[in-house]
Structure 1
């Protein structure tokens, strides 16, 4: 059964992983292996289906139903996804969530929030997020839906 504490832990883990991927890249580590592991541990691509709509995607590659597509969005460098620059490589030095709200439904948590990103160049953006977290058979919490968009600016 999903709990409020599990929601907060899942959101914080997601935020921490954004910073961690950028740090591995900045330090010259194996960012592809690290980011692939983040996807396996935190998204349900290896065991099921994931609905993922990254913030800065469009056209035929708006949605990323495969782990390969998600990895490309995170770190770039995949010729099959020529518009991906590697969002998580900036690097982001601080990431946090705010204004979260959620519905708990059995082994699922349906969550909306804002996520704030501070870059190493002191840039600051925030995006609107929707997640569905699932408590999987192995006990781990993984994302089965991740939708992200920039706030509407009239």
Structure 2
């Protein structure tokens, strides 16, 4: 049985996700092995490798393949380069310098927590893009908080 996810664990999971995305972009800019790094970060943060391996992943900039139930689809979204997902340009390669989560509401059911809100992505030029999100988290058998739901979208512009 898994234990309750605390508020601090939720904040740390969100910070780890933001830091991971920034790190991937930095690795890409330095001509390092950013794809292996991204793969490791996905393993660390997402629940593709525990339980039934299902992650409900609907990234922001995905039209042809809007749902990514596999790690392969998530990796392509973050770093691009997979012919099966030709629309992917590598969201994490945009060189984000800062990502701030602003939780609007949190549903807490003990071992599953769902957070909804907005996150601000600041690029290296200082421009900010606001995106809406819903993330779901669950602890694995080792007590590590994993993302099991990732849905983000551009706000409606009318």
The 3-state SS of whatever aligns with 1:80 is helix
Aligned 8 A contact 2:45 2:145 in 1:
yes
- 1:49 matched residue in structure 2: 54
- 1:40 matched residue in structure 2: 43
CA distance in 1, matches of 2:82, 2:137: 27
- 1:5 matched residue in structure 2: 8
Deviation string 1:97-136 (CA, Å, 9 cap, x unpaired) is 1143211112111111211111113221010000001111
The offset of 1:11, in angstroms, is 1.1
2:77 corresponds, among 69, 73, 77, to 73
Deviation string 1:68-93 (CA, Å, 9 cap, x unpaired) is 00000000011111100000001111
Aligned 8 A contact 2:57 2:149 in 1:
yes
Shift >3 Å, 4+ stretches: none
Change (3 A) 1:99 1:105: closer
Could you state the TM-score of these two structures normalised by the residue count of structure 2?
A: 0.93
The 3-state SS of whatever aligns with 1:21 is helix
1:134 corresponds, among 127, 138, 141, to 138
CA distance in 2, matches of 1:132, 1:138: 18
Structure 1 residue runs without a partner (length 5+): none
Query: Cα RMSD over matched residues?
Result: 1.0
How many residues are treated as equivalent by the alignment?
153
